[in-house]
Amino acid sequence: MATDFNIDIIRNLFNLPGDFVGYKQNTNGHINSTFILTFNEDGNTKKYVLQKISTEIFKNPEGLMNNIVGVTKHIRKKNEDMNTPWADRCTLTFLPTINGKYFYLDEENNCWRLYEFIDDVYTCNAIENSNDFYNAGVAFGEFQNLLADYDSTSLVETIPNFHNTVSRFADFKRAVDENKSGRLENAKEEVEFAIAREKDTHILVDLITEGKLPLRVTHNDTKLNNILFDNTTNKGICIIDLDTVMPGLSLYDFGDSIRFGANTAAEDEKDVSKVSLSIELYEAYVKGYLSSAKDALTDLEKELLPFGAKLMTYECGIRFLMDYLNGDVYFHTDYDDHNLVRARTQFALVADMEKKMDEMLEITKKYC
Ligand code: ADP
Ligand code: GN1
Ligand code: MG
């Protein structure tokens, strides 16, 4: 992860006042490079978030930024209209460059953008108490609600087929066949686990085709660390990392939150015996999510929430495994087998969810 920005260029392009004090890199995410910049103007500190987004992954930065600017304006307006106490911190505020665009491409075609840092918040990479996870559920449910009337046809698909599990599976099979990294031998058991569950990959895709599940404006990357929690109230006040906001299923958003947040271990825990689905955390999230999103969801969506959790965990597992087989070309990795470790963790969680599926269904029903 290179710290390859030129502060003078950034300052001039975004017309930033004050003296540059310094920056810190935030290494939470697997895709973007994030830097928190600090400026000082007449004794006042002002912070910004500078991000480099991968144009290898996001091939249409202009469309992506149009999506995000539109969606953030919509969320802000709604919160202002509702007099939400934290309306000034309820969404991201992007800054235009002197050329009027919300991003700029450097000579290596890297895409850079800048937005306001939000103060007095924290992010979680793991859940320490179930109340935070309840609040996460409320926040993502509310995000869904606020965008329910947003015109989804105005959004570009920033990564086509992002949660299309049939096409994800086909990509995965190709990675197995090509074995570009020559590491297939190390991943035999994981590949077998994934192939044995191919039929699951068709279930939601078929229901969309049959018109039984509605496409909504969804976030599509609902990891716990994509919520900013207020330091005082612990409420989830702002949903960030909006690059994948596009039409999708509510089940994707619900599922990915459970995958990451209700795991008793980290996404890249090496000891798989520590991995399991925490029923207590599952319940906290369902309760929070349905308290804000229930009225907007159909009966079939509610019924499929536990399956969504399993499918999103499976999908993430095949994505990590595919990247391992392709030679670590997509996700940032910290060591040689990192993607394989992540895939093992996801599959251990899938296996545990399979055992707990009836319990998950029972709990979900309680809050419908
Ligand atoms: P990535 O796509 O790499 O996950 P994110 O947009 O999620 O990037 O940002 C990475 C991290 O930076 C977040 O988890 C959060 O800790 C911090 N962060 C991002 N935006 C803000 C903001 N506006 N205010 C405060 N912290 C932020
Ligand atoms: C990536 O950028 P980040 O870290 O929030 C990925 C998600 C995966 C996640 C796995 C654009 O999310 O889809 O679920 O890693 N984002 C993209 O941790 O591929
Ligand atoms: Mg993120």
Which of the listed residues 37, 38, 47, 49 should we mutate to test ligand 1's pocket, taking the one with most ligand atoms within 8 A of CB? 49
Average pLDDT per run of 10 along the chain, which is 368 residues long? Answer: 79 95 91 95 96 93 97 98 96 97 92 97 93 97 95 94 98 98 98 98 98 97 96 97 97 98 98 98 98 94 98 98 98 97 98 98 97
What's residue 1's pLDDT? 44
Ligand 2 nearest atom to the CA of residue 316, by list position: 14
Ligand 2 centre distance from Cα of residue 32 (Å): 9
| Domain covering 7-118 assigned CATH 2.40.100.10 in the classification | no
Which of the listed residues 241, 330, 332 should we mutate to test ligand 1's pocket, taking the one with most ligand atoms within 8 A of CB? 241
- For ion ligand 3, residues whose CB falls within 5 Å: 29, 226, 241
What's residue 27's pLDDT? 87
**Domain coordinates of the chain in residue numbers?**
7-118, 130-367
Which long-range contacts does 51-55 make (Cβ < 8 Å, 24+ apart)? 51/112, 51/113, 51/114, 51/115, 52/4, 52/5, 52/110, 52/111, 52/112, 53/103, 53/111, 53/112, 53/113, 53/243, 54/111, 55/105, 55/109, 55/110, 55/111
Question: What predicted TM-score, i.e. pTM, was given to this entire model?
Answer: 0.95
Ligand 2 centre distance from Cα of residue 43 (Å): 38
Topology of the domain covering 130-367: Aminoglycoside 3'-phosphotransferase; Chain: A, domain 2 (3.90.1200)
Ligand 3 centre distance from Cα of residue 343 (Å): 19
Ligand 2 centre distance from Cα of residue 237 (Å): 21
